[in-house]
Structure 1
Amino acid sequence: MDLAKHAKTPHQIPPATYLAQFLGLSKALVKINEKALHRDIKPENILVVGSAWAISDFGLCDLCVGGQDLSRVDERIGPALWMSPEAFNKNLGCPDGIGQTSDVFQLASVFWYATCGRHPTGIVRDTDWRGPAELFPILERALLHSSQDRFQTSAEFSAALEAAIIR
């Protein structure tokens, strides 16, 4: 089952479950980003197998060559409803670069969805957040419109999550 289906089951995902899975998924993204950009992180690509969640579907992965974005300027990159602002802009012909900040944005969007049951469209506010208060500032930063203001690497994002969850 994927996270999109799992999150729609009648029960809400308890914090003890999703917090542990957020740590695992963020660490998995660090490993992925050592070699590639995933570019297609969405609830349908998070598999729920027993008590573990795993990132799947590497069909849109882009190998990192010297940290440069190898995609074309007009290339549609990522899941339509879960793309980062820079991926949307690149699809429109803007010369925005796709990097780890884009993968972080997508994973943070999935975390918001798993916690709140809705997509974090627009400017997120603490009043919209349904999870532990200490996670809000981390997700808020990861979901900022400007990639320059987000965590610059998945390792930074994972470390911030870990510090907030395991305090």
Structure 2
Amino acid sequence: WYAMPKAVSLDKYIEKHSPSPLTILKGMLEICITIELLHKQKIFHRDIKPDNILIYKNKWHLCDFGIATFPNKQRITKEGEKLGSLHFHAPEMLMTSEQSSGESADIYSFAKTLWVLLSGHKYPIAGELRMDRSEALLSTYCQMKNIHYLDLAISECTRFNPSERPKMKSVRHHIEKVLAE
């Protein structure tokens, strides 16, 4: 058996503390950095969503690596098996999991998660969160200075074509621009 510290689920943390958009964005920067480090090691989570974020000692942690892929390790999921939450998964993950690069799917799911947390919605808008859709813009819901950097990042991250999505390093830079102001 394992002995582990007790963390708080993100939904309970939000319910109890009503964190500001700034606090949420700082926490999501921690998650972004974690994902960036995982990707450098060719580890892909493949199930990023609010339910898989825990808070421990005011630090944000990604959890539930049940469908993650690791280099030189056999996948747990079966070929052709559809995975996880429909609301946060990249389109290619909804077809079959082995068609997904993992990296671009994580970027898509991270963007959907970030959008949900800062917009106050329970679920993200389906499909691409394009800049020409006012209901898709975080600036419609969140009045942080320079939030338009995140609108741009989320638009790029939720492109249908996985090869058109940026890397996590680029996403991190957008978040850091907002936090710098």
* TM-score greater than 0.5 by the shorter chain: yes
Counterpart of 2:99 in structure 1 is 96
Code of the aligned partner of 2:64 = D
Structure 2 CA distance, aligned partners of 1:72 and 1:155?
A: 31
CA contact (8 A) 2:45 2:102 kept: no
Code of the aligned partner of 2:175 = L
Is 1:16 the counterpart of 2:22? The answer is yes
**Residue 115 and residue 40 in structure 1: after superposition, are their counterparts in 2 closer, same or farther (change >3 A)?**
same
Counterpart of 2:62 in structure 1 is 55
What TM-score, normalized to structure 1? 0.79
Instruction: Flag structure 2 segments of 5+ consecutive residues without an equivalent.
Output: 1-7
Q: How well do the aligned residues superpose, as a CA RMSD in angstroms?
A: 2.6
Structure 2 CA distance, aligned partners of 1:140 and 1:126?
A: 12
Residues 1-167 of structure 1 mapped to structure 2, 5 A cutoff: 1-7=8-14, 9=15, 12-35=18-41, 36-64=43-71, 74-90=80-96, 96-118=99-121, 119-122=123-126, 123-124=128-129, 125-128=133-136, 129=138, 130-131=141-142, 132-151=147-166, 153-166=167-180
* CA deviation vs aligned residue, 1:58-96 (integer Å, no higher than 9, x gap): 12110145xxx99765122333432111100226xxx73
Alignment size in residue pairs: 159
Structure 1 CA distance, aligned partners of 2:55 and 2:113?
A: 13
**Residue 59 and residue 5 in structure 1: after superposition, are their counterparts in 2 closer, same or farther (change >3 A)?**
same
* CA deviation vs aligned residue, 1:83-116 (integer Å, no higher than 9, x gap): 111100226xxx7333311001111111111111
For structure 1, which segment, 44-53 or 122-131, has the greater mean C-alpha deviation from structure 2 after superposition? 122-131
CA contact (8 A) 1:135 1:165 kept: no
CA contact (8 A) 2:91 2:160 kept: yes
What TM-score, normalized to structure 2? 0.74
- Name the SS of the counterpart of 2:117 in structure 1: helix
- Name the SS of the counterpart of 1:48 in structure 2: strand
Percent of aligned positions that are identical? 21
* CA deviation vs aligned residue, 1:1-31 (integer Å, no higher than 9, x gap): 2123334x27643122012112111111111
Code of the aligned partner of 2:63 = S
**Residue 11 and residue 60 in structure 1: after superposition, are their counterparts in 2 closer, same or farther (change >3 A)?**
same
* CA deviation vs aligned residue, 1:110-150 (integer Å, no higher than 9, x gap): 11111112222224334442232331111121122221221
Instruction: Flag structure 1 segments of 5+ consecutive residues without an equivalent.
Output: none
